[in-house]
Amino acid sequence: MPSRIRELRRNRGLTLDQVSKQTGLSVAMLSQVERGQSDPSLESLRRLAEALQVPLFDLFRGEVAEPVAVIRHDERRLVSSPHLHVTYSQVSRSGGKVEVLEGTLDPGAASSELPRTHISEECVLVLEGSLIAEIDGTEYALGAGDSCHFDSTLPHRFLNPHHDKARFIISVTPPSN
């Protein structure tokens, strides 16, 4: 990932200072991330992906996209936010036209501090537990087996106000920044 971030930044003709201003991350922190000396948080990765105009998991992508990709459960790429108590694992390959993630959301947690927007469509399917899909200020209660499809340009996030962990699948097309 570190060399991929540096590569994307350089390919876009951006300096560390410019990326710092776009993301709110310090130049020192960005330099450490690019050299593999620091692991950025989920929120920092989201900011970097947005500044570099790529889907989040493209920060981890290798050079060549295979025509067929088998992603083994124990080899999935993971991003998590200990602060928010959310984890995502990449079920689909990077660089495709659809992004599929498996998420877990701890009791009392949210997928982001504030609702987020991006230019995509999204579908969430609850596998275990239950969660609230907060979309454009309206809350939609979803239990195991329920799904919700929406326009991701609407501010949205997922909440778990319940006592059990929620496990869900999210499909996003095109993959979000």
pLDDT at 4 over 70: yes
Question: Length of the chain, please?
Answer: 177
Average pLDDT score over residue span 34-53: 82
Which one-letter DSSP state was computed for residue 5? H
Give me the residue spans of the domains in the chain.
2-53, 73-173
Each residue of 146-165: pLDDT tens digit?
A: 999 999 999 999 999 999 99
The CATH superfamily label for domain 73-173 reads Jelly Rolls (2.60.120.10)
Crossing angle of helices 42-52 and 27-34, rounded to 10°:
90
pLDDT: is 149 or 20 the higher one?
149
SS (H, E, C) 21-59: HHHCCCHHHHHHHHCCCCCCCHHHHHHHHHHHCCCHHHH
Average pLDDT score over residue span 42-46: 81
Closest CA to 127 of 81, 80, 75, 170: 170
| Domain formed by 2-53, architecture | Orthogonal Bundle (1.10)
- Write down the pTM of the prediction: 0.72
Each residue of 87-134: pLDDT tens digit?
A: 999 898 877 789 899 999 999 999 998 999 988 999 999 999 999 999
